[in-house]
Amino acid sequence: MLPSRLAYRAGATTLRQSRTISPITLGTQQSRSVSVYGYEQAKCLTFPDYGEPKDVLKLHGHSISPPHRDLVTMRFLASPINPADINQIQGVYPSKPTFTTNMSSAEPLAVGGNEGVAEIMAVGSGVKGLQKGDWVIQKAPGFGTWRTHAQTTADPLLKIENHEGLTPEQVGTVSINPCTAYRMLKDFVSLQPGDWFMQNGANSGVGRAAIQLGKLWGYKSINIVRKRETGFEEMKKDLESLGADIVVTDEEMADRSMREKIMEITNGGREQIKLGLNCVGGKLVNNMAKQLSEGAHIVTYGAMSKQPVTLPTPLLIFKNISFDGFWVSKWSKNNPEEKKKCVDEVLDLTRQGKFHDTPMQPVHWNIGTKQQELVDAVQGTLEGYRSGKGIFVFGET
């Protein structure tokens, strides 16, 4: 039987360097098989140690007792597979998972996944503000969302006030990519309608979100994508359909003629390029910085190339270009009320058909889904074989 409350496991932090034990409750599963005593039979995709997903992920089952006092039991509806989730399993992501024995395991386990939406199934007598049928997302990463069911307090959960007209996939992917794009466009410079921003990784989830939000707010965008042998024209048309004004390749950005093209695009430089968004790194960032207006900011939120961002001295001295960083996980933790407003606004735009998330490829997780199917879905994201974002979609079981 599971303990009614999570307890801090003394000495567990010595298990491995940088692993943490949290007093938050972690439960799971997806099959709707419930015993006559009201116990949920949960399953979750777990790992006992850091490593490659194919080597460490295992499907683990356990029971969840009926909630009491300040506990809630919930079932997950949809949980995406993000690159950061894989980095966390590999042990190279700043946000560390929670390793715990509270899922009736012999050794501490962590549950994969940092984003997702769940439905409240039952609440304890002391729970305020949540009730059966509510949809919730996580306030911060580290909870573990690749699971069918979970039991916790209300503290780590953010209630979705209105999910009418929305799918679980739309709600389950709102808190990372769209919020990252939203805050970077709003928080570093004061963009006005008609101003430009420039971004690399424009076909990423954040990039696509920035294009759409920028267009809605009257901003113009120069969007940089990696040069590829085939498919560029199709990608360009796709991004333009979202609202991209200009789509170029990273090789074009390195060409000396780009300065003249930028001057032409921005009406002789009279239209300001005040903001650059970077998730790639390396020399491309320098090529972008050269095209920015005086006093502009470059905001780095990723490092796909694994190359450093260097600071060109003349741009610092003579153009006063600022280099900033942004991590939505830390922002969410420090600004819970602002995150709620951001999530609500993006979901309202989604409901109106004004915002569309990255194309997704559902990975259906049902009562009979085997471990290897789930592990392959995660490893496949790492190897980049699918056309859309992988997302676990939990069936009624």
Helix 205-216 with 177-187: angle, nearest 10 deg? 50
Question: What are the Cα distances from residue 135, in Å, to 30, 82, 117, 337, 396?
Answer: 16, 21, 7, 17, 16
Amino acid in the structure at residue 135: W
Q: Count other Cβ atoms within 10 Å, centred on residue 82.
A: 21
Phi, psi of 176 (to 5 degrees): -110, -70
Angle at CA of residue 91, ends 85 and 95, nearest 5°: 60
Characterize the bridge pairing of strands 135-138 and 389-394.
unpaired
Which is catalytic among the residues 8, 37, 50, 93?
A: 93
* Residue among 178, 175, 173, 206 at smallest CA distance from 78: 173
Q: From CA 225, how far away is CA 221, in angstroms rounded?
A: 13
**Helices and strands, counts by H and E, the chain:** 13, 16
- Count, residues in the chain: 397
Helix 177-187 with 336-351: angle, nearest 10 deg? 110
H-helix segments, 297-370: 313-318, 328-334, 336-351
Q: From CA 343, how far away is CA 339, in angstroms rounded?
A: 6
The dihedral of CA 3, 124, 145, 89: what is its sign?
Answer: negative
Which residues, in sequence order, are bridge partners of residue 345?
A: none
93 belongs to the catalytic site: yes
* Residue among 74, 79, 80 at smallest CA distance from 153: 74
SS3 content of the chain, % helix, strand, coil (to 5): 30, 25, 45
Q: From CA 332, how far away is CA 320, in angstroms rounded?
A: 29
Q: Count other Cβ atoms within 10 Å, centred on residue 314.
A: 9
Give the active site residues.
93
